[in-house]
Amino acid sequence: MNQPEQVIQELNQPDQEHLAAIDLGSNSFHLVVTRVVSGSLQIVHRVKRRVQLAQGLDANNMLSEEAIERGLDALRSMQESLQGFAPEHVRIVATFTLRKARNAYAFIHAAKQILPYPVEVISGVEEARLIYSGVAHTHFDDGRRLIIDIGGGSTEFVIGDGFKPKICRSLQMGCVSYTQRFFPNGKITKKNMAAAVIATRQTLELIEDKYIRLKWHECIGTSGTIKSILQLLLSRHKTDFMTIKLSDLKALRKETVNIGNIADLPINDVSPDRADVFPAGLAILLGIFKSLNIKEMVFSSSALREGVIYEMHGDLFQSETRERTAQTLANRYDIDPAQAARVWDTVDTLYKKAPASWLSKKQKVKSLLAWSCLLHEVGIAINSQGFQRHSQYIIQNTEMPGFNVEEQLLLGTLTRFCRKKIKPDLFATLEQFSDQEVQRMIILLRLGVLLNIKRQSDILPEYAVDFTDEEIAIAFADGWLAEKPIFTADLIQEAKYLEVLNIKLTVN
């Protein structure tokens, strides 16, 4: 053995863990593979595929077959990079276009045949939060900053201090959608450029006052759109620093309008896959600078996918975010914490007694059951009559950082059917959770609510519970039910409700 080989073989091999994140964006799909070495993350592999998924959305928000196939082809190109990865080491998140597409699950189902990992459709606010996390962990600064990410279908705005975002917003404007709207034939005129800038500023009216009042000492831009603008400025010596100023954008706008056609833009010299969306991206950024009074912007190469990776590495971040979200919601709607604790105590007992064959013991299932126990009564703040319907509406229409879209839908479904008649045709269609998991989570929550209907601690005696695939048997102490006629009637009624789920409830 020669010396180099011997040295290599004798090197200490640190414990390493590889994590991967895929960002299914409206313009491009990105894969990032990292390794965890001594507690820090190192990016070891990147794959980017231009898909322009947003281009495939029609007026009815249906995604075209061509766009779906472009997306699937991009995922096929990433297959080899993910061979051997355990499910818990891969996270796939989808953004604006798959949030909007009415047939998103057609794509998601097909994607799962290529990459055997769940696809999470995340809300705009959650996307913004994860973008902030990615930038905060790679762009170290304790001060307040504004982070802006211009995507293909939406643009995210976050103000935060250190690692903590203070306000997150996602607005429906992006370089692909604005290209279709203002530059559909490739022509660039003073009129359509001005129209795109004005549309941007109109959209920003929703947030500009609040953002300006919060102030920041640094503005950071992410995404390919902002990168391509900076690259063009650097290549043409329009700036000496890694910053973008309003005067730079105005000069680029004048030059772009004078060129007059997307096909002739000089952007091909620095970013050939960005030329067709460049005018729209430039107009959006110009409108943002004007509306938010931005003096200059620096660029960060980190964004959503890096944020996803950092949360996978330190699961604590997402746990803390979910906890803050749930506590805020519970406090806002003045839920009864003692009742929530009673319901969870019962549900947890039933969950532990249920065999794994009856309900998965995945941590995600248990966590969502716990959150549903905490939040199932938020609707009482609107009206105690039919509160479960109000609870569903609140949960599914509230910004909930830390939860993806499917998790919000599941929480809404659980709370909607925590009492009264069960209507399976109204259950949310989910990709990450099977119909059986959803049904059985509903059953456990219903029993937790029913067994604590008196809202009193220590009222229930010791009881035994047995599960089979089609039956739940609950046995109370001898003679106890005989003294509880109303409670007995409630249990008999619940047995009838559960029949629609093909579950037999027996009580004695």
3-121 and 125-311 share one fold: yes
CATH topology of domain 3-121: Nucleotidyltransferase; domain 5 (3.30.420)
Q: Give the model's pLDDT for residue 319.
A: 64
DSSP character string of 92-107: EEE-HHHHH-TTHHHH
Give per-10-residue mean pLDDT for the chain (508 aa). 49 65 93 77 86 91 95 95 89 94 93 93 93 85 89 94 91 93 94 97 95 94 90 73 88 93 80 84 97 94 86 64 85 91 92 87 85 93 91 91 89 94 88 89 94 86 87 86 86 92 90
Main-chain dihedrals φ then ψ at residue 261, nearest 5 degrees = -145, 135
Q: Give the model's pLDDT for residue 4.
A: 54
Q: Give the model's pLDDT for residue 392.
A: 94
Q: Are 417 and 388 in contact (CB under 8 A)?
A: yes
Q: Domain-by-domain residue ranges, the chain?
A: 3-121, 125-311, 315-459
Q: Give the model's pLDDT for residue 99.
A: 93
- CATH architecture, domain defined by 125-311: 2-Layer Sandwich (3.30)
Q: Which of 266, 267, 226 shows the shortest CA–CA distance to 243?
A: 226
Q: Are 43 and 34 in contact (CB under 8 A)?
A: yes
Please tell us whether the domain made up of 315-459 is placed in CATH 1.10.3210.10: yes
Sign, Cα dihedral of 171, 175, 176, 177: positive
Helix (H, G, I), strand (E, B) or coil at 376: coil
DSSP character string of 205-226: TTTHHHHHHH--SEEEEESHHH
**Token couple for 115:** 């990459």
